[in-house]
Structures are given as structure tokens and as C-alpha cells.
Structure 1
Amino acid sequence: MVSEAWVDIPGHPGYQVSDQGRVRSVDRVVQGREGSARRVKGRVLTPLVRPDGLRVVNLWLNNTYCQRPVRELVLVAFDRPCPTGFEAVNVNGDSVDNRLCNLRWRPSARGR
């Protein structure tokens, strides 16, 4: 079995990403509708697949959901923030394979 390292996602408190390309929420206490606190158990998130094949997850931030590509979250957490004019790419071309060893930053095709 392959070991899996989990780290916090910068800018997204309450979420972690693994070097195997999985995203999870962490155990936390949230404010209920009536003002009471309740515990919420963390879980591994199921990514959505966009029509272009890119896997994305919805993360709750500042009272709204933001959709982020899994491959970007892996690189930002384990490598560094996205350099200006670059984008995250899957080295082997398989957009489902979001393991850290298969990801890198590449100059953006939009910037060419």
C-alpha cells in the first residue's frame, strides 16, 4: 500500500490535500442556525469532473463555495504558489492522475 501524506491547503482553512491527489475536510466545530455549536466530522471530498475532464472540488470559503482544480491544490500545497503566467498540468496527460509526482507548473497557453 502506498503511504499518503496530507497537508493543509494554503488559503483554505479546514481542508487538506494529499500527495496522492485527494482532498478532505477536517473535523471542526461549526455554528448552527440557532447559534449553537456542533461538531462536523471531516471527510474525503468527491471531485466533480468538468466536461473537459478536469477534476475540481468545491471548498467553502468566506460563506461561499469556490471551485478549485485538484491538481492546482496539490501543487500549491506541496510545491509553491502558482507562478505568474503558469498553470498546473498533468505530466502524463491524464487529467484524472493528480498525484504530486505527475504534476508540474507550465507556462500558460493563454499567455502565449
Structure 2
Amino acid sequence: MNGTRNAPAAENWLPIPDFPGYEVSDLGRVRSFMRSAPIIMRQQFTSTGGYGHVGLHNGTSHTRKVHSLVLLAFVGPLPKGMVRRHLDGNVRNNALSNLRYGTQSENLLDQREHGTNARSNKTHCPQGHEYSPENTKMDGGSRICRTCHNQQGRDAYVPKVRRDPMAKTHCPKGHAYDGTVRSGGYLLCRICHNAWARADFAKKMAAR
């Protein structure tokens, strides 16, 4: 019998950039050399999404998703405007062969194909507008309805109705307005105005 028939696939390791003493493999495993012998690190999985992550230390503690470490080490930094994709839809399969950088549109197509994102299967926004290519924009991985977004922008610039100052009956100190209007169209409280005038006059006399 051929003893190599069931031999495990070769595993290649590379250092993790910015984290001396750690390596990641093209099969999605992480090991630490922080002790005398290398240790395969146990992965934790997020409660939302199920992504595997590990804790790393380079003077301060950091938590990093394993698939991001694999791509960083074997492919390079995440290009601007791109996202990390799991080609088979299984977020726990962090083998390099299952990972790619791609556009958010490609990522949503992956999720829709594998049925892993219920929101991506929706065809209309909560207000009933269709998520057509012309009516959809992306923001941080989420679809935005352009019709709703534009309406919200217009609503934000509608000037607020200014309260009619003539509708007030009393000044902030509780004195009843007598109907006197000062320059600018605002009601004038005679009591407060006279008190201010007397105080101002006394202050000027004291300064002489």
C-alpha cells in the first residue's frame, strides 16, 4: 500500500508582520515562539459571524482574526477599498486557498451564493425601494438605499420653524410683557430693562 496516499498536505509558515515571535500557516493555524518551544495557539470564535481569532502581543495586547493574518502574511496588506473573502462561505476555513481580497460586491455575491447573509438576500429596503444597482450604495459592508439616503439628506436641510417671539407672554424672569417691542422685533420687558439701566447708571457713577 502506498504510505503517502493519505499524507497530510504540506504546511507552510510565515512570520506575522508587526508581531515578532508569531507565525501563521497557509492552512490557517497560528503558532507562538514566545516560549522555549513553539506552541500552536488555540483559536476563539466570535459570537457574531463565527470568525476565528487569536490574541497577540507586541508590547501591547491585540486581537486579530485569523483569516486576516493569513492574507497579510502570504498576500500582503489589505488594498484600499477591498475586503477579505471566504470563497466557500465557511468563515472557519482559513486556508490560504479559500481566501482572497476582493470588492464588497464580490463578497456579497459570495454570501448570497452560499446563503450565509440573510440581509444580502433582501431585494428591497424597509421602505419598499428596490436594491437595484442604480439605487444601492455600499457603506462599511452594508447596502444603503439611495432613495432613502437622499431623502434624509434633504430633510436635514429643511430649516426648523422659528418660534414667534411675539407669542411669549412673560420674560425669562417671569415679568409680564406689556407689548413694548424693541429693535429687532423682540418683546421688551420694561421691568428688566429699567433695572438694568439703573444698575448700569450706578456703575458709571461709581467709576467717576
User: Which has the higher relative contact order, 1 or 2, with Cα contacts under 8 A spaced 6 or more apart?
Assistant: 1
Aligned residues: 100
Structure 2: unaligned runs, 5 residues or longer: 1-7, 105-137, 144-208
* Bigger strand share: 1
Q: Structure 1: how far apart are the matches of 2:96 and 2:27?
A: 6
Any idea what the Cα deviations from partners look like across 1:88-112, whole Å, max 9, x if unmatched? 1211110010000000112246167
- The structure with the largest alpha-carbon Rg is 2
2:102 is matched with: 106
Structure 1: unaligned runs, 5 residues or longer: 29-38
Match for 2:30 among 13, 23, 48? 23
Name the SS of the counterpart of 1:7 in structure 2: strand
TM-score by length of 1: 0.81
1:56 is matched with: 53
* Bigger helix share: 2
1:11 aligns with 2:18: yes
Sequence identity percentage? 38
1:91 is matched with: 87
Q: Structure 2: how far apart are the matches of 1:86 and 1:59?
A: 24
Q: Structure 1: how far apart are the matches of 2:101 and 2:23?
A: 20
TM-score by length of 2: 0.45
Name the SS of the counterpart of 2:64 in structure 1: strand
1:65 deviation in Å? 1.3
Any idea what the Cα deviations from partners look like across 1:10-60, whole Å, max 9, x if unmatched? 11111000000000012x4xxxxxxxxxx5432000111001201111101
Query: 1:4 corresponds to which letter in structure 2?
Result: E
Q: Structure 1: how far apart are the matches of 2:87 and 2:97?
A: 9
